[in-house]
Amino acid sequence: MPVNSQQTDRGPLQGQAPPEDTERRSERLLGPETTWQRRLPQPAVPERETRAVPSRTWPEHGSDFRRSHVVFDNAHHGEWLDTVVAQSVTGAAATQPSHIVRCVPCQLIHAWPLPDEAALTQYYQTTFYQRSHPDYVARYERDREWWIMTHQTILMAALPHVPVIQEWEGGGHRHLPSLLEIGSGPGIALDVAKAMGCRTFGLELDATLAASTRARGHSIREESWQTFHVTHGHPVFDLVYVYEVLEHQVNPEALLLACWDFLRVGGVLVVEVPNDYNPLQLAACARHGLSPWWLAPPEHLTYFTPETLRLLMRRCGFDLVVYRSTYPMEQFLLAEPPVLYVGNDLLGRICHEQRMATELAQWKAGQWSAVDTAYTEQLQHEGSGRELVAIATKRP
C-alpha cells in the first residue's frame, strides 16, 4: 500500500476536467507573464551553502524535549507534538482527535490512540484504494516511467548486497534471487524486480490490485504480513521490499522483525518511508505559519526521522549498507518566491512533475550516481529530503 511521496501533491481531484498540458496549466496558475520553469526553483538538490537551513533538529531522537510530557497509557508516553483530526478506520465514529507523541518506550514519533490492527487490515482491503484514494492507481500509471526509475535505482543499489548475487560473482551455483514485497500496491516495483532477474512475490490486501499484479506474472497473496508470517515465517527470501508501508503500521517494529524471519542469512531489506518533521518542513512552518501538513492519521501512524528509522532497523537486527534521502520537495516552499503547494493539489502536482522531470533527465543523462551521492550527503549533513531510503542486511 505505498502512498504518494507527498501528502499534498495529490493529482487533480476526481471529477475534474482531464489534465491539461503541464506548462499551460502552470502558466494559468502562476500568472500569464511568466512560465513555471522561470518561477519554480530549478536545481534538483539545492546548494547547501546557499540555502538557509535551520540548525535545530527538534524533535529528532536525542534532542531536548520542548513541549509537555504526556502519559497516554502504560506503553506510550512522551513529548506531545501535535493533535490533528483523523477519520476512524472502523466507521464507528466519523472523526476523532489523534495526538502525535515522541514516544519514549517506542523510540518513535507516532499517533495515539493507535487503531485496532484487524480494523486497519479491513480498511486496506475495502476502503483505502476504493473510497479514500479512488484516483490512486491512475496516478501511478500516469507517472509509471518515474516510478520505474525510482524502483530501479533502489534495486540497483540493493541487489549487489544479496548473497545469491555474490555467489554468482564467485562462480558458484546460480539461482534467481527471490524478492518479497510487503504491500505491493500497483506492482510497479515487482515489474522492475522481475525485469532485473528476480523471482517476485507480493502481499497485497486489495483484491483488484492483487489480481492485476498477478496477471503480469507475479506470485501475489491477498493477506496481511501478520498472517503470512504465521504460515511462512521462514528464511526463504533473498530480498524483502517495504516501500511506503512501514509508516502505516500499528507496530512497525513487529513488521521489521517479521522481515528478519522472512530473509535468508545475509538477505537484504529495503525500507522507504517519508522523512517527517524534517528541517525544511519545520522551516516552512515557521516561515509561512503552516500547520504540520504531513500528518495523516489513520493512514500514516508513525512519522520517521533519520535517527528513529536508523535505530529501529538496528534493534530489529539489520545493518545499514545504504542510507540516503530523496528530492527535497520542501525547497519549493522556501524558494524566492515560494510556491505554496500545501493544501493546493494542482500546485502540488506541478511541483511533483518538476521533481520527476528533473530526476528523469539526470537518470537518462547517466548522472544518477551523482544524484545518489548528493541525496546521501544531504541526509548526513542536514537530515533533509522528502523520503528516507534504507538498505540493510540481515545480521546473523
192 or 313: CB nearest Zn ion = 313
| C-alpha cell read off for 272 | 522507504
Q: How many CA atoms lie within 13 A of 343 on its CB side?
A: 6
* Segment interacting with Zn ion, rule: CB under 5 A, options 27-35, 58-66, 74-82, 299-307: 74-82
Give the chain's end-to-end CA distance (angstroms, integer).
29
CB of 58 to Zn ion, least distance (A): 18
CB of 95 to Zn ion, least distance (A): 22
CB of 110 to Zn ion, least distance (A): 6
CB of 105 to Zn ion, least distance (A): 6
CB of 104 to Zn ion, least distance (A): 8
CB of 106 to Zn ion, least distance (A): 3
103 or 269: CB nearest Zn ion = 103
CB of 285 to Zn ion, least distance (A): 24
Cis amide leading into 337 (omega within 30): yes
| Binding residues with Zn ion: total (CB under 5 A) | 3
75 or 370: CB nearest Zn ion = 75
**How many angstroms separate the CA atoms of 82 and 290, rounded?**
13
CB of 300 to Zn ion, least distance (A): 15
103 or 346: CB nearest Zn ion = 103
Among 81, 106, 120, 256, which residue interacts with Zn ion (rule: CB under 5 A)?
A: 106
3-class SS letters over the chain: CCCCCCCCCCCCCCCCCCCCCHHHHHHHHHCCCCCHHHHCCCCCCCCHHHCCCCCCCCCCCCCCCCCCEEECCCCCEEEEEEEEEEECCCCCCCEEEEEEEEECCCCEEEEECCCCHHHHHHHHHHCHHHHHCCCHHHHHHHCHHHHHHHHHHHHHHHHHHCHHHHHHHCCCCCCCCEEEEECCCCCHHHHHHHHCCCEEEEECCCHHHHHHHHCCCCEEECCCHHHHHHHHCCCCEEEEEEECCHHHCCCHHHHHHHHHHHEEEEEEEEEEEECCCCHHHHHHHHHHCCCCCCCCCCCCCECCCHHHHHHHHHHCCEEEEEEEECCCCCHHHHCCCCCCCCCCHHHHHHHHHHHHHHHHHHHHCCCHHHHHHHHHHHHHHHCCCCEEEEEEEECC
* Segment interacting with Zn ion, rule: CB under 5 A, options 103-111, 123-131, 171-179, 205-213: 103-111
* Segment interacting with Zn ion, rule: CB under 5 A, options 98-106, 236-244, 324-332, 349-357: 98-106
* Segment interacting with Zn ion, rule: CB under 5 A, options 102-110, 151-159, 165-173, 214-222: 102-110
30 or 114: CB nearest Zn ion = 114
Q: Are 202 and 239 contacting, i.e. CB atoms less than 8 angstroms apart?
A: no
Q: Restricting to residues 341-360, which ones interact with Zn ion according to CB under 5 A?
A: none
Contact between 103 and Zn ion by CB under 5 A: the answer reads yes
69 or 381: CB nearest Zn ion = 69
* Segment interacting with Zn ion, rule: CB under 5 A, options 32-40, 88-96, 101-109, 117-125: 101-109
76 or 151: CB nearest Zn ion = 76
301 or 350: CB nearest Zn ion = 301
CB of 322 to Zn ion, least distance (A): 28
67 or 133: CB nearest Zn ion = 67
Cβ burial of 170 (10 Å; 0-12, 13-18, 19+) is: exposed
* Segment interacting with Zn ion, rule: CB under 5 A, options 68-76, 132-140, 318-326, 345-353: 68-76
Among 10, 25, 51, 76, which residue interacts with Zn ion (rule: CB under 5 A)?
A: 76
CB of 276 to Zn ion, least distance (A): 16
* Segment interacting with Zn ion, rule: CB under 5 A, options 44-52, 76-84, 224-232, 258-266: 76-84
- Give the binding site for Zn ion (CB under 5 A): 76, 103, 106
